[in-house]
Amino acid sequence: MTTLDPRAPELPPPAGSPSATPTTTIQGDPRAAARRRDANAAAHSPSLMLIMLLATLGAVAYAVFLLNPDHRGDWLPYSLVLVAESVLLMLALLAMWTVLSSGYDPRDFPYHQARERLFDAPEILRDGATDEPTRWRMFLHDRPVTVDIFITTCGEDVDTIARTVRAAVAVHGEHRTWVLDDGRDDEVRDLAATLGARYIRRLSSGGQKAGNVNHALSIAKGDYFVILDADFVPRTDLLTETVPFFVRDEVAFVQSPQTYGNMNSLISRGAGYMQAVFYRFVQPGRNRFNAAFCVGTNVVFRREAIDDIGGMCTDSKSEDVWTSIHLHEREWRSIYIPQTLAVGDTPETIVSYAKQQLRWATGGFEILLQHNPLSPRRNLTVDQRLQYFVTSTHYLSGIAPLLLLLVPPLTIYLDLTPMQLDVSVGTWALYYLGFYGLQITLAFFTLGSFRWEVLLLAAVSWPIYVKAFWNALTGKQQAWSVTGRAGGATSPFEVIVPQTLCFVFLAVTSAVGFWKHWGDPVPNLSLAWNLTNTIILGGFLVTAAKEHREAMGARRSARRAHRRHARRAAGPPARTVTVGGAA
C-alpha cells in the first residue's frame, strides 16, 4: 500500500454512464439499506411476538391434551401419535424460538466503517477505472485484500455454467474467478478462457465438492474465497456486501441465502417455500447465537479459518455443515445476512428433489449420530449446542408423517384408536387447530402466504428421510443408485416406489373403510383422515406421472436424435427405418 491518504467516503459517479451500475450499492444509498432489511421484515414486527405467544400457547395446550391420561387410547396408535407429535411440537417450539431471535442485524459499526473504506477512490480515479468496478481493489484495515471466486462444476449444462461465470467475472471489486471443473469437460475449459476466468481440473475426484475446493485452495492463494455452485448467478454486490464483515478478525465466513429463480413447478414451489422459511427466519435467528451454518454456496470464507481446521471437511456428503461445526468449535464466528446476493435453481423434478433432500437429511442425521452437539466433548456454547441439535434433528420431522399415516388404517382395520372414544371430534379439532392452525397463521404472517405444496411435499417425503436415517446409521456413503445424468432424464418412479405402494395401501384402506362404515349416521374421523392422506399421495403421484411422461418424452426424442445422427453418419437413410424409428 502506497498511499496513506484518507479515502473519500463517496465515489464519484461513473462518468458518462449513469446506468452502468444501477444495482451496485454505492455507499450511502438509502434504498440499498431498505432493500437489505426487506427479506425478513416481519421479524421486526411486534405483532410477530403476539402470534408467537399464541402459537406457543396452542402448542402447549395440544401437548397437554395428548398427554392427558384420560384421553389415552390403545397403546400402539397412541404411541405412534405421541412420538410423531412430540417431534413436531418440539421442533415447532424450537423453531419459533429461533424465528423470534431473527430480528437481528449483524451489521455493526465496524462493518459500516469498513464498508465506507472498502475502495480507494483516489486510486480508482488515478487508474481511470471509475467505469470498471471489477478493477476496484478492496481494502480491509487499509490493506489490500485478494479474493478468489470458485465456481464448482460437475457436469452441469454449459449454458448454465457460462451464465454463472459471466456474472462472477462481473462482480464488483477486484477478484479472480476460477472454474473448478470436476466434470472434466473441454468445452467448459474453453468457455472459462473466453470469459476471462481461470480453469482448474484435478486428476482425482475424491471428497466431491469439498475435495474440489481443497484442491483449488492449493493453487489459488487469496485471503478470501467465495464458493458458488454452477447454477448460482451472483449479483454484482456479492463482495461489497460481504467482505466488510471480515474487518473483525474472528469472522470465518459470511453466508448469504440461496434464492431461487425457478419457482414454476409444484416441486420447486414446495421446496423453495420451505427454503424461504429457513433463509429468511431460521438462519438470521441462528446468526444471533453465532450458529448460522454454511450451506455450501453463496458463501465467502476467510482462508485462514479454513486452514485452521485443515481444509474443508471431506468426510461427509454435507461438507458445509460439518465445516461450520468444526469452525464453531475452534471459536470462529459466522455471519449470515438475509440478503440475496446470488440467484440459483431449486430442484424442479422429484428425482432432483429427492437427491437433494437425501443429501441434506443424511448430513443432519450424521451430525446427530456421529458428532452429537450436546456431548460435553464439543467445544460449543449452549446456544450453539441447541441450534446444532435442532439442525441435526430437523429431518426427524420428515419421518413423523409416516407414523401419522399408519394411524387411520389401524383404526379402520383393527379398531385401535389413538384417543379415548369419549373424546368428541369437536374437542379434538379445537386442540388440533390450536396447534396446526396457529402454525399456518404464523406462516401467513411471516411469509405472506401459505402454500399447500409444502404440506404435500412434507406428507410424502418420508421415504427419503427414513433412507437418510438408515444411511447415517449404517454409515452407508453410496447415496442414490439412480442419478439423473446430465441430459438423460430419469423417471420419478425410480425413486418413489414406497410412496406408490403407500398410495395403493391407503386407497384400498379407504375403500374398506367405506364398506365398514356404510350407513353409519355420523361420518368417521379416521376414514376422513385416511381419505385426505390418500388424496394427498394421489396428487403427488399425478405430479410424478406428469414428470414421468415428460422424462420419457425427452428420452425418446434424445434417442431419436441420436439414431438420426448415427444414420446420417452411416449413409443414406432407408425410408422404412424412419417409420420404425418413430414408433
User: Would you say 374 and 389 are in contact if contact means Cβ atoms under 8 Å apart?
Assistant: yes
CB of 497 to another protein, least distance (A): 5
Kindly state whether residue 548 participates in binding another protein, applying the rule CB under 8 A: yes
Q: How many CB atoms lie within 10 A of CB 452?
A: 12
Cα–Cα–Cα angle for 287, 401, 459, rounded to 5 degrees: 85
Kindly state whether residue 389 participates in binding another protein, applying the rule CB under 8 A: no
300 pairs with which residues across the strands?
A: 226, 254
Segment lying near another protein (by CB under 8 A), choices 123-131, 187-195, 384-392, 407-415: 407-415
CB of 538 to another protein, least distance (A): 15
User: What is the phi-psi region of residue 259: left when phi exceeds 0, alpha when psi lies from -120 to 50, beta otherwise?
Assistant: beta
User: Would you say 356 and 313 are in contact if contact means Cβ atoms under 8 Å apart?
Assistant: no
CB of 43 to another protein, least distance (A): 45
Using the minimum distance from each CB to another protein, give the nearer residue, 126 or 516: 516
Using the minimum distance from each CB to another protein, give the nearer residue, 475 or 519: 519
Segment lying near another protein (by CB under 8 A), choices 378-386, 392-400, 454-462, 502-510: 502-510
Using the minimum distance from each CB to another protein, give the nearer residue, 152 or 491: 491
Burial of 128 (0-12, 13-18, 19+ CB in 10 A): exposed
User: Would you say 281 and 237 are in contact if contact means Cβ atoms under 8 Å apart?
Assistant: no
User: Would you say 453 and 266 are in contact if contact means Cβ atoms under 8 Å apart?
Assistant: yes
User: Would you say 169 and 191 are in contact if contact means Cβ atoms under 8 Å apart?
Assistant: no
Segment lying near another protein (by CB under 8 A), choices 125-133, 220-228, 507-515, 568-576: 507-515
Using the minimum distance from each CB to another protein, give the nearer residue, 294 or 410: 410
Candidate list 318, 392, 397, 509; residue touching another protein; CB under 8 A: 509
Cα radius of gyration (the chain): 27
Residue-wise DSSP of 69-91: GGGB--HHHHHHHHHHHHHHHHH
176 pairs with which residues across the strands?
A: 148
CB of 493 to another protein, least distance (A): 5
Using the minimum distance from each CB to another protein, give the nearer residue, 15 or 482: 482
DSSP state of 278: I
Q: Which three-class secondary structure state does DSSP give residue 81?
A: helix
DSSP state of 198: E
Q: β-strands 176-181, 198-200: how paired?
A: parallel
Q: How many CB atoms lie within 10 A of CB 179?
A: 28
CB of 494 to another protein, least distance (A): 5
Q: Which three-class secondary structure state does DSSP give residue 153?
A: strand
CB of 453 to another protein, least distance (A): 25
Phi, psi of 14 (to 5 degrees): -55, 125
Build a one-symbol-per-residue string for 328-367: x at contacts with another protein by CB under 8 A, - elsewhere.
Answer: ----------------------------------------
Using the minimum distance from each CB to another protein, give the nearer residue, 314 or 509: 509
Kindly state whether residue 545 participates in binding another protein, applying the rule CB under 8 A: no
Candidate list 413, 444, 452, 470; residue touching another protein; CB under 8 A: 413
Kindly state whether residue 500 participates in binding another protein, applying the rule CB under 8 A: yes
443-482 positions binding another protein, by CB under 8 A: 482
Using the minimum distance from each CB to another protein, give the nearer residue, 213 or 502: 502
475-494 positions binding another protein, by CB under 8 A: 482, 491, 493-494
Kindly state whether residue 497 participates in binding another protein, applying the rule CB under 8 A: yes
Query: Which residues are CB-contacts of 195 (< 8 A; sequence separation ≥ 6)?
Result: 162, 165, 166, 169
Segment lying near another protein (by CB under 8 A), choices 208-216, 368-376, 408-416, 433-441: 408-416
Q: Which of 109, 105, 107 is nearest to 44 (CA)?
A: 105
Using the minimum distance from each CB to another protein, give the nearer residue, 162 or 525: 525
Using the minimum distance from each CB to another protein, give the nearer residue, 374 or 511: 511
Instruction: State the residues that interact with another protein by CB under 8 A.
Output: 409, 412-415, 482, 491, 493-494, 497, 500-501, 504-505, 508-509, 512, 516, 548
